[in-house]
Amino acid sequence: MLSFFKDYKYFAIGFFLLSAVIISIFYSILSVEKPLPIYNPANVETTLVDSTIQHVKKYHKIADFSLTNQNGRTITQDDYKDKIYVADFFFTTCRTICPIMTDHMYEIQKTIADDDDVMLLSHSVTPVIDSVSQLKKYAKIKGVNDKKWNLVTGDKKQIYELARKSYLAVKSVGNGDQYDMIHTENFMLIDKKRQIRGFYDGTSPEAIDALLLDIKKLKKEYQD
């Protein structure tokens, strides 16, 4: 009888250890952080997507561009090559959501100040008003670091097409102008392959916190 219980004790210990190993393995598998989603036109709200690309389900990327920043320098996709960046759409004379968005972008800028992998890009939706000199003035007021953050202006048609066909960031309802746009409060997180990895409410402190966490997650994808 004692022998039976002795054998049972060893079995119980062995079973416990095996169970602990199995549980540890399952926990490790389940706790692996999922990568951020990749957004394509087909899985974004249709009001933000040009009708010509609403069917696209994969391989969506930010198109090539050529715009002018607050210093009068031409900015293209090459300036963001192999970079993670946060993009948005704004205008300098906006008195509603834009100041809040810009202040939050400034907070992001402070957080990524020493991170060479991350940059910021803000597109003016009123390029006729937002000349280089106007952007420069605005940049000084808002504390823009020229090395991290470009405020860009340029051809309205190009900016509109970037907004509707690349960043999926603005609504088409406007005043009737073919290239009129109503920008949203969204910030877009763009990866090194020029893919959209997240949308965030640029007026919400909580959303900005989530964005900063997602930047860390995205950076980890390139480190693993």
Q: Tens digit of pLDDT for each residue in 33-81?
A: 789 999 999 999 998 999 999 999 999 999 999 999 999 999 999 999 9
pLDDT-wise least confident of 10-14, 99-103, 105-109, 136-140: 10-14
Q: Which amino acids are annotated as binding site, given as ranges?
A: 94, 98, 183
Backbone angles phi, psi at 52, to 5 degrees: -75, -15
- Please report, for residues 20, 90, 106, 111, 206, the alpha-carbon distance to residue 96 in angstroms, rounded to integers and kept in the order given: 56, 10, 17, 25, 19
* Length, in residues, of the chain: 224
CA atoms within 13 A on the CB side of 68: 15
Residue 11 CA, distance from chain mean position: 53
Work out the angle at residue 20's Cα, subtended by the Cα atoms of residues 15 and 24, and round it to the nearest 5 degrees. 150
Could you read off the pLDDT of 165-213 as tens digits, one per residue?
999 998 765 554 555 667 789 999 999 999 999 999 999 999 999 999 9
CA distance 18 to 72: 66
Residue with tokens 């763009």: 190
Q: Does residue 149 register a pLDDT over 80? A: yes
pTM: 0.83
Residue 124's DSSP bridge partners are 90
Q: Which of 24-28, 80-84, 89-93 has the lowest mean pLDDT?
A: 24-28
89, β-bridge pairs: 123
In order, the DSSP letters of 101-169 are HHHHHHHHHHHTTT-TTEEEEEEES-TTT--HHHHHHHHHHHT--TTTEEEEB--HHHHHHIIIIII--
Binding site for Cu cation, by residue number, is 94, 98, 183
Kindly indicate the confidence band of residue 13, based on its pLDDT and cuts at 50, 70 and 90. low
Phi and psi at 188, nearest 5°, equal: -115, 135
Mean pLDDT of 110-129: 96
Residue 131 has pLDDT above 80, yes or no: yes
